[in-house]
């Protein structure tokens, strides 16, 4: 697996496609707060919504390394499109394949894979951010239907002009002391009675990707919409989030790479004091530091993906990948702006968008602080007090 060279042809193909179908729309996606149908359709045609879905259900059946490279390359052009594919892959099609019944997979997977339906992952609540055990949304069985009540917030992929299905984490055991061991995952389509959107969040970045509040008011779905077993929700969202950390890492990597590419071009072409600014040591060192950090982040992301593909434990490594790549992505965007001076701050140039977009990667799907908790818990063997 020397330097992941065997994936370079694959990357080149994806990159060429991204440059054709995503990159030309990236600025408008941000400015208009919307991913146009044309882009959705084009992504659907190349199959990336179903990158992780098996071929028999309309997916591409890619391994996680290929999937990560795709998310990276899409994000290099557009963070908004990148996060959409990160969620659709890791948080939706992956847990569906792993925990769904055959009936559920047959019903939903082809629609997710084609992009006909966007999948969203309804975990966070106003009082349950880093503390997912504090989930207050409830689901109770009434005959053969689940009745869901509660509120979710910051839910990505709630594309307002598109059919959406939400995998909602809900409390199914009324005993609150059970914490995360009393929650389940339920598949809730947007047209279920009692599924209501609250406001669409007004975000700093990733503005083409809709993020919404969801209110469940006596929302009814069939009993068979339970994903996995009752009270298995914690296991399911942890598995999804482990995978999600790889894709958010890949997204940050792509954004960082995009910023770095712009910095290199500018350092070569911008002349001050009679020479390209790249002849100055201050700029050379910035480029060197960015390149080194981006390369290290890439190895962390691909390595976590490769561990997952090999069926080995990867929780700690995925957390490291997300924590490090998101930091590197932000720092690369920050330094790239510095190399550009005022141009980097100009909304008619893509860098400031990258800087706004990449900040989310240190927050969404578990903040950097949560990643450090995950990493340290997987390292430190602390003796419990007797």
> Any idea which residues carry the catalytic annotation?
365
Six-digit token string for 164: 């959406």
Between residues 241 and 306, which has the closer beta carbon with respect to another protein? 241
Residue 4 and residue 302 in contact, taking contact as beta carbons nearer than 8 Å = yes
How far apart, in whole angstroms, are the C-alpha atoms of residue 287 and residue 297? 15
Residue whose entry in the numeric block shows the structure tokens 């490769």: 306
- Tokens 């359709």, residue located: 41
Nearer to another protein, 180 or 243 (CB): 180
Q: Which of 136, 178, 203, 235 binds another protein (CB under 8 A)?
A: 203
Binding region for another protein (CB under 8 A) out of 140-148, 163-171, 196-204, 213-221: 196-204
12 binds another protein (CB under 8 A): no
Closer by beta carbon to another protein, 53 or else 123: 123
127 belongs to the binding site for another protein (CB under 8 A): yes
Site for another protein in 273-292 (CB under 8 A): 273, 277, 280, 282
Report the first-to-last Cα separation within the chain, whole angstroms.
46
CB 81 within 8 A of CB 43: yes
Interface pick for another protein out of 82, 205, 208, 278 (rule CB under 8 A):
205
Report which secondary-structure segment, H or E, holds 151.
strand 145-156
Residue 125 contacts another protein per CB under 8 A: no
Q: What are phi and psi of 133, to 5 degrees?
A: -65, -15
Residue from the set 111, 293, 308, 330 that interacts with another protein by CB under 8 A? 330
Which H helix or E strand runs over 214? Answer: strand 211-222
Nearest residue (CB) to another protein, 80 versus 225? 80
The reply on whether position 32 binds another protein by CB under 8 A is no
What are the angstrom distances between the C-alpha of 58 and each of 102, 116, 188, 244? Answer: 15, 12, 22, 21
For residues 49 and 43, what is the distance between their CA atoms, to the nearest angstrom? Answer: 7
The answer to whether residues 126 and 83 touch, using CB atoms and an 8 Å cutoff, is: no
* Binding-residue total with another protein (CB under 8 A): 43
**27 lines the binding site for another protein (CB under 8 A):** no
User: Which of 281/381 has CB closer to another protein?
Assistant: 281
The only residue of 210, 356, 371, 374 in contact with another protein, by rule CB under 8 A: 356
| φ and ψ at residue 204, rounded to 5 degrees | -60, -45
Q: H-type helices in 87-195, by residue range?
A: 94-99, 102-114
Least distance CB 127 / another protein (angstroms): 8
In the list 30, 213, 242, 352, the residue contacting another protein (rule: CB under 8 A) is 352
Binding footprint of another protein on the chain (CB under 8 A): 124, 127, 129-131, 133-134, 153-154, 201-205, 271-273, 277, 280, 282, 330, 334, 337-338, 341-342, 344-348, 352, 355-356, 359-360, 362-364, 367-369, 372
């Amino acid at each position: 697996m020397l330097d992941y060279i065997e994936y370079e042809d694959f990357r080149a193909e994806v990159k060429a496609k991204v440059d054709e179908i995503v990159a030309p729309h990236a600025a408008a996606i941000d400015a208009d707060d919307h991913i146009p149908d044309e882009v959705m359709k084009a992504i659907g045609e190349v199959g990336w919504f179903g990158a992780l879905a098996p071929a028999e259900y309309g997916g591409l059946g890619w391994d996680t390394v290929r999937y990560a490279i795709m998310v990276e390359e899409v994000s290099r052009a557009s963070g908004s499109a990148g996060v959409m594919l990160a969620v659709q892959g890791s948080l939706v099609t992956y847990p569906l394949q792993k925990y769904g019944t055959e009936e559920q997979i047959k019903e939903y997977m082809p629609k997710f894979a084609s992009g006909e339906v966007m999948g969203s992952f309804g975990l966070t609540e106003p009082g349950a951010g880093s503390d997912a055990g504090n989930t207050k949304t409830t689901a109770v069985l009434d005959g053969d239907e689940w009745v869901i009540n509660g509120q979710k917030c910051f839910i990505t992929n709630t594309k307002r002009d598109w059919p959406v299905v939400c995998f909602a984490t809900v409390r199914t055991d009324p005993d609150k002391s059970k914490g995360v061991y009393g929650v389940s995952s339920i598949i809730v389509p947007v047209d279920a009675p009692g599924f209501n959107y609250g406001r669409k969040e007004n975000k700093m970045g990733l503005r083409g990707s809709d993020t919404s509040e969801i209110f469940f008011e006596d929302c009814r779905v069939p009993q068979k919409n339970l994903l996995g077993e009752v009270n298995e929700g914690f296991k399911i969202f942890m598995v999804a989030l482990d995978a999600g950390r790889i894709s958010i890492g890949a997204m940050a990597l792509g954004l960082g790479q995009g910023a770095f590419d712009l910095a290199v071009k500018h350092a070569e072409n911008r002349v001050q004091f009679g020479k390209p600014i790249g002849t100055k040591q201050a700029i050379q060192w910035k480029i060197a530091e960015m390149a080194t950090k981006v390369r290290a982040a890439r190895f962390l992301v691909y390595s976590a993906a490769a561990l997952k593909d090999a069926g080995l434990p990867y929780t700690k490594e995925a957390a490291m990948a997300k924590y490090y790549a998101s930091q590197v992505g932000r720092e690369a965007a920050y330094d790239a702006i510095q190399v550009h001076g005022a141009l980097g701050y100009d909304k008619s140039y893509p860098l400031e968008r990258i800087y706004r977009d990449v900040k989310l990667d240190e927050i969404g799907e578990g903040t950097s602080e949560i990643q450090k908790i995950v990493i340290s818990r997987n390292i430190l063997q602390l003796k419990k007090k007797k």
